[in-house]
Amino acid sequence: MRILLDKFSKSFGDVRVIEDMTLEVNDGEMLALLGPSGCGKSTTLFAICGIHKVSGGRIFFGERDMTDVPSQERNVGVVFQSYALYPHMTVAENIAFPLRIRKLPEAEVKRQMEEMARLVHIEELLGRRPAELSGGQQQRVALARALVRRPNVLLLDEPLANLDAKLRLEMRSEIRRIQLETGITAILVTHDQVEAMSMCDRIAIMNAGRIIQIATPQEMYRNPRTAFVAGFLGNPP
Ligand code: ADP
Ligand code: MG
């Protein structure tokens, strides 16, 4: 589904963190929000999923104006660093949780849960608890739990930040594979330019609450609009 932020702004008290941001994410596209720490990336995701109210502007999912729609009704899948798995539940119960809330028939819950487990390659881990999984496996479970609800958009906030270098490399291509296989619209927040370049269709470079440039990785690298963009892209992948 297409996601549109139309002149979105966000303040905390007197401090304006996002200023008139307009951003369109195409249906089926994976877009990177790339920028330094504190530039407003997570704040933007929180506004899309409805955890934060906007201070100005509108948010559309397709044609629907979601600006004042409560978080639970937006059907957004999130994988945030801070969104831990439920430690007391098995992998199967974690993935099935969003479906049980919707009171789907148990046979249907099981079918959809197993389908997601196959998609993210964790069929053999369904009986384990999160503490018995590696970091990469936990992120796979988190992805399955985010996707099982067939969300309108998948929001990924630094999903690879806690993984070691080898796992990070593996999960980069895995997340992209899963995004392409499901065809879901996705926004990846990262401060890692290589991650953005290797995983996404387009990159939006942010600084201090504004988008400086939006382009494909190739365009961005060949033709950075400002010294900030050039400096931020730095070393090519
Ligand atoms: P990023 O994800 O790009 O690192 P954030 O979106 O988390 O940045 O934060 C952007 C700015 O907004 C930072 O200056 C941060 O301190 C501020 N900020 C974020 N959340 C809050 C909040 N709940 N109250 C006050 N300031 C906040
Ligand atoms: Mg952040």
Please list every protein residue whose CB sits less than 6 Å from any atom of ligand 1.
12, 17, 35, 37-43
Residue nearest to atom 24 of ligand 1 (CA): 12
Taking the CA of residue 46 as reference, the ligand 1 atom at the shortest distance is 6
Q: How far is CA 169 from CA 136, 166, 184, 189, 227, in A?
A: 10, 5, 21, 16, 28
Nearest one of 169, 168, 178 to 147, comparing CA atoms: 178
Q: Which ligand is nearest to the CA of 41?
A: 1
Residue 37 CA to ligand 2 centre (angstroms): 7
Q: What span, in angstroms and rounded, lies between the C-alpha atoms of 1 and 61?
A: 7
Q: Model-level pTM?
A: 0.94
Give the tokens for residue 178: 């899963």
ipTM surpasses cut 0.90: yes
A 10 A CB-CB count for 192 gives 17
pLDDT > 90? residue 164: no
Helix (H) or strand (E) holding 77: strand 76-80
Q: Among 4-8, 86-90, 96-100, 165-169, which is the least confidently predicted range?
A: 165-169
Residue 133 CA to ligand 2 centre (angstroms): 25
Residue nearest to atom 13 of ligand 1 (CA): 38
- Predicted pLDDT at 83: 61
b/e burial code for range 74-85 (CB count within 10 A of at least 16 → b) = bbbbbbbbeeeb
